[in-house]
């Protein structure tokens, strides 16, 4: 009580009238008690426990987070409009989330339709079994390595396969070798 505090008048003018009131006010003894409770809680919750185990303890009121016991009903009663306002806000946020979710599903569905349409187009162009492609390549009497590369290339490139099959039989070997060179396969 006898020690002087530097700038007491300035501190008093800044902080003098501010006080915590009602439920937010805590005395030093209450803060120590809360900290003791936190230390007890930390000793109960071992480091090896998972988040799910801690959540279970909290849900069973065997532990609390942050040293505060929160009663959901008391939170509802503190709001300015009471339970009805809370429910209306919740309903509005749920409606907004539902709309966003519906839009996301529509975008996803459109993307799926587009990719399915592209896949169908590709399969329609490639109605030739792979074994038949192999037979076409054997007729050209290519070297084994070139035939393997050409087979893999044509099965992965339906447009090039269409060009290969669409050209005259006597020109297929030349066309195929040109395609493989252009694609840097050979």
pLDDT score, position 63: 54
pLDDT score, position 170: 93
Q: Which of 79, 59, 81, 80 is nearest to 70 (CA)?
A: 59
Q: How far apart are CA 63 and CA 41, in angstroms?
A: 7
Instruction: Note the pLDDT tens digit of each residue in 106-165.
Output: 888 888 888 887 777 665 555 788 889 999 999 999 999 999 999 999 988 888 888 898
Instruction: Note the pLDDT tens digit of each residue in 38-85.
Output: 666 555 555 555 666 666 666 666 555 554 454 544 444 444 444 455
Q: Which of 90-94, 108-112, 153-157, 178-182 is predicted most confidently?
A: 178-182
* Contact of 162 with 124, CB cutoff 8 Å: no
* Alpha-helix residue ranges (DSSP H) falling in the chain: 8-15, 28-44, 51-59, 72-78, 82-125, 130-139, 144-156, 158-166, 172-182
CA angle 70, 73, 74 (to 5 degrees): 60
pLDDT score, position 140: 94
pLDDT score, position 147: 94
Q: How far apart are CA 35 and CA 140, in angstroms?
A: 85
* Contact of 52 with 60, CB cutoff 8 Å: no
Q: How far apart are CA 3 and CA 5, in angstroms?
A: 7
Flag whether pLDDT at 181 surpasses 70. yes
pLDDT score, position 66: 54
pLDDT score, position 67: 47
- Residue 152: in which H helix or E strand, if any? helix 144-156
Query: Count of CB atoms within 10 A of residue 164's CB?
Result: 20
Instruction: Note the pLDDT tens digit of each residue in 163-174.
Output: 898 899 999 999
| pTM greater than the 0.75 cutoff | no
Q: Retrieve residue 11's tokens.
A: 């501190």
Query: Length of the chain in residues, anyone?
Result: 186
Residue 21: which pLDDT band, with cuts at 50, 70 and 90? low
CA angle 98, 99, 105 (to 5 degrees): 85
pLDDT score, position 168: 92
């Amino acid at each position: 009580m006898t020690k002087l505090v530097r700038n007491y008048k300035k501190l008093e003018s800044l902080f003098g009238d501010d006080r915590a009131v009602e439920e937010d006010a805590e005395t030093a003894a209450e803060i120590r008690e809360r900290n003791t409770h936190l230390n007890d809680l930390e000793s109960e919750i071992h480091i090896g426990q998972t988040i799910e185990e801690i959540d279970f303890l909290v849900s069973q009121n065997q532990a609390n987070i942050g040293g505060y016991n929160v009663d959901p009903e008391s939170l509802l009663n503190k709001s300015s409009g009471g339970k009805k306002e809370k429910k209306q806000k919740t309903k509005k946020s749920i409606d907004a989330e539902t709309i966003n979710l519906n839009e996301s599903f529509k975008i996803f569905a459109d993307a799926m339709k587009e990719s399915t349409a592209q896949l169908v187009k590709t399969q329609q162009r490639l109605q030739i079994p792979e074994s038949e492609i192999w037979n076409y390549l054997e007729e050209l009497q290519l070297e084994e390595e070139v035939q393997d590369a050409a087979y893999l290339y044509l099965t992965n490139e339906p447009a090039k396969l269409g060009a290969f099959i669409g050209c005259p039989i006597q020109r297929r070997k030349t066309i195929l070798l040109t395609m493989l060179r252009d694609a840097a396969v050979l």
